Each structure stands twice: as C-alpha cells, then as structure tokens.
Structure 1
Amino acid sequence: MHLTQLIYTSRPFGFDESVLDNILLSARANNGRRDITGALICRADLFMQLLEGEREAVTATLARILQDDRHVDVAVVHCGDAPERLFPTWTMRDDPPQSWMWTQDEVRAGAARNATAAEVLAIFRRLAAQPRAA
C-alpha cells in the first residue's frame, strides 16, 4: 500500500460546537472503516485537515467533503506519498488552533490558502508531537 497524505483547508459554514461534534462523529466512524487517520484543526474561520491512508480511500473521502455544505471554499494544499502516518492511532484527532498558528486577520488575508505544502505539513508535524488538548 502506498500511504497518501492529503491536506485541505476550507471555511466552515454555520460553525458551532454541534456542527463540529457531528463532523467528528461521522469522520471517526467512516475513517475507521477505511483505515484513514488524521487530524482536524478547527475554529470558526478555518478548517484545516490532514487525511492519511490508501490513496483511493483518501481521495474518496475528499470527494465526500467537497459535497458537504458545511465546508466552503475547499482547497487542497498538499497531496502526496508519505513514509509513515503522523497520526497512526487517531481516526480523527481534533484540536483547536495553537497560539503559534495564524491569527484571524492572517486567515482572512489568505494565510491558509497561500501556505506552502511544507508549511502546512510542519504545522501537522508539530501538532502530532504534542499531547492532545484536554
């Protein structure tokens, strides 16, 4: 199996805690069945998600996300082969953005869309190295 990592950004539509809870519940159930792992960084103005697994399963998951009206302006920032999983035990880790990430003004100015693949991978690598927020 070739391990694929895909990172996309989007703007949440109608974001609140119940929407996030529903996204996480369905992602964890679906990803567990498809051997997909990853992480979702979320806040009212940004979703940034890393999906990792077999290429066909990852691209099928992205296709479902593209049809999901809770996501606006979906943009793939990175897609490529990976030597190993960053989140091997997480069907979908969720964390708030860290203080070292972008401000709301930076997101509005396009920071997530203008970030390079190396920059977004570095964000997820740093997140993977940290304990999950309580």
Structure 2
Amino acid sequence: MSHLRLIYASRPFGFDPGTLNGVLLDSRRCNLRDDITGALITRADLFLQLLEGPPDKVNAAYDRIRRDDRHIEIRELVRRDADTRLFAGWAMRDDPARSWLWSREELAAGALDTASESEVEAVFVRVWREALN
C-alpha cells in the first residue's frame, strides 16, 4: 500500500511549552483517528514535521495545519509516495531540534531554500535511527 509522505516547515507563533503541548495533543488525537504517523522537530524558530499515511488524510491534516494560527510561514518541502512509513509506531513523535540540525543563522540565510528533498528526508531518517537506540 502506498502512503503519502509530506514534510513541511513553519515558524511557531508564540512558542512556549503550553503551545507545543497543544500542538502535540491535537496532532496525536487527529493522527490516531486518521491513521497518520510522523514526527515533529521543534524549537523556538522552527517546526519541521513529517506526516505519512493515506493521501487524503495527510492532505486534510496539512490543510488544517495551514489554517492553524500557531504556525506561520508554512512551506511544503517534500511530497512523495512512500511504500513504507518511517514512524509507523508513532502517532506523532516529538523531538527537540538537535545540535546537528540547521542553526538559526543557517535557516535565516536560506538553508531550507537550498536543501534538497533527500537532505530534508535525511533529517527524519536520522531521528528515526536515534529512536531505535
């Protein structure tokens, strides 16, 4: 069965623990309902999220995110069919941004504009590998 893998980036609006917990609670509830799995990498200047699952459900989730005022400057980075899920056991894995992820300065200089789809996906492959350990 083919799934849609969608990765987007946004800037959090009003990033604080309460906002993050609300985003995660909403994500997990909706994703369990809609058979979506994925991961969310967070820090004060970045939400980087991978969603995977039935194409219609992933598209609907992304539409909800684009209307969510907790996200600004939303940008789709990857959209492709995938035969397997990276985060099959996670309704929404939450990971704080790691030191190896793009710095604030790199993001401000356009790192997401120049990153290839495979480089963006590699971020989540690394998160998935770390979760196995």
Task: Report the TM-score range of the alignment, normalised by the length of the smaller protein.
Answer: over 0.9
The letter for the 2-side match of 1:24 is L
Q: CA deviation at 1:2?
A: 2.3
Which residue of the partner structure matches residue 15 of structure 1?
15
Query: How far is 1:51 from its partner?
Result: 0.0
Partner of 1:42: 42
User: 1:32 — aligned with what?
Assistant: 32
Q: Which runs of 5+ in 2 are unaligned?
A: none
Aligned length: 132
SS in 2 for 1:130: helix
Confirm or deny that 1:86 pairs with 2:92.
Answer: no
CA-based RMSD of the aligned residues comes to 1.1
Secondary structure of residue in 1 paired with 2:4: strand
Separation of aligned partners in 2, 1:13 and 1:110: 19
1:113 Cα deviation from its structure 2 partner = 3.6
List per-residue Cα deviations over 1:51-85 (Å, max 9, x = no partner): 00000000000000000011111010000001200
Please state if 1:122 is matched with 2:107.
no
Q: Aligned partners of 2:71, 2:89: CA distance in 1, in Å?
A: 25
Structure 1: give runs of 5+ residues left out of the alignment: none
Q: Quote how far apart the aligned CAs of 1:112 are.
A: 2.4
Aligned residues: percent identity?
50
Alignment partners' CA distance in 2, 1:41 and 1:121: 12
Shift of 1:116: 1.3
Residue identity in the other structure for 1:111 = A
Runs of 4+ in 1 over 2 A off after TM superposition: none
Determine the C-alpha separation between the residues in 1 that align with 2:70 and 2:95.
Answer: 18
